[in-house]
Amino acid sequence: MRSRLKIVTIAFGAAVVLPLGAGSAFAADADTTAQLAPVALNGVEGSGTAMVSVEGTMLTVTMAASGLLPDAPHAAHIHFGAEARNECPTAADDASGDGTLTTPEGAPAYGGIVVSLTKSGDTSPDSGLAVDRFDTAPGGEISYERGSIEVAPEIADAIASGKAAVVIHGVDHNDSGAYDGDVMSELDPALPTEATDPALCGVLMAAPAGGVATGAGGAASAGTDQGLLMAGGALLVAAAGAGAFAARRATAKV
């Protein structure tokens, strides 16, 4: 088992700690999109699209992906780090030189968890390994939508300004069809590293006028299913209205 436990807390289970005075008092509204591409070295051939609508400090997230390990839980997060490169990792991030990338090895690129994209319950970094509350990718596909996710203003600003990445975890290094193998995760010794290694990644970028932002994946995502993008867009439009309503209600109560 490799040992780099000193960087685990910034990679897959701890919030990004920022000074209370950092960032603006109110986050800017934005609609952001990321094209999810395979993380370098990890043997995934999937693709996907993630869209995050930012309204103040409230997020609405829509995500669709395919080509993942079928019928297995896939943790997914929004990552950001004040001192990270805020991009998807490359082969050069393979610090161990073993030919694969673990989540801690990717942390200098995409930072720590700021939002856990769980299906229910808590969405904080504390749920980074809540395996029972993430999508299980039936047939290797994920279709996810969740609104009313509240974050700190600094995190909302980071997402709106193109400094956050969406990462879906879970790979099958040995092509066994399951998370197994002798190498255990640095994040949880009860899990194989396959269960926590990053599979797909994309940087959330604000859509330019008259177009859709492509985001910055670990590699070009020319094969991304346009049907997934259109379906995700429809969900985002519907969810955005609900998110805006929830945000207005929250403001009214202050």
Question: 47 forms bridges with which residues in the sheet?
Answer: 66
Distance CA 183, CA 19 (A): 37
DSSP state of 184: B
Distance CA 19, CA 176 (A): 45
Query: Is beta strand 30-38 parallel, antiparallel or unpaired with respect to 47-55?
Result: antiparallel
pLDDT in tens, the chain (254 residues): 333 323 333 345 444 434 333 344 455 799 999 999 999 999 999 999 999 999 999 999 999 999 999 999 999 999 999 999 999 999 999 999 999 999 999 999 999 999 999 999 999 999 999 999 999 999 999 999 999 999 999 999 999 999 999 999 999 999 999 999 889 999 999 999 999 999 999 999 997 655 555 555 544 333 334 444 444 444 433 433 433 333 333 333 33
Domain span holding position 211: 5-253
Helix locations, 62-147, DSSP H: 103-110
Q: What's the confidence (pLDDT) of residue 221?
A: 38
Model's pTM, two decimal places?
0.77
Q: How many other CB atoms are found less than 10 A from the CB of residue 4?
A: 14
Our count of domains for the chain comes to: 1
Cα dist from 241 to 197, 217, 245, 254, whole Å? 34, 28, 6, 21
- Please name which of 27, 67, 62 lies closest in space to residue 43, comparing C-alpha atoms: 67
Cβ atoms of residues 65 and 228 within 8 Å: yes
Distance CA 111, CA 200 (A): 15
Cβ atoms of residues 198 and 167 within 8 Å: yes
CATH of the domain at 114: 2.60.40.200
Query: Tokens 């019928």 map to which residue?
Result: 71
Cα dist from 45 to 40, 61, 65, 88, 218, whole Å? 10, 23, 11, 16, 12
Output the six-digit token pair for 249.
């209600």
Distance CA 198, CA 168 (A): 6
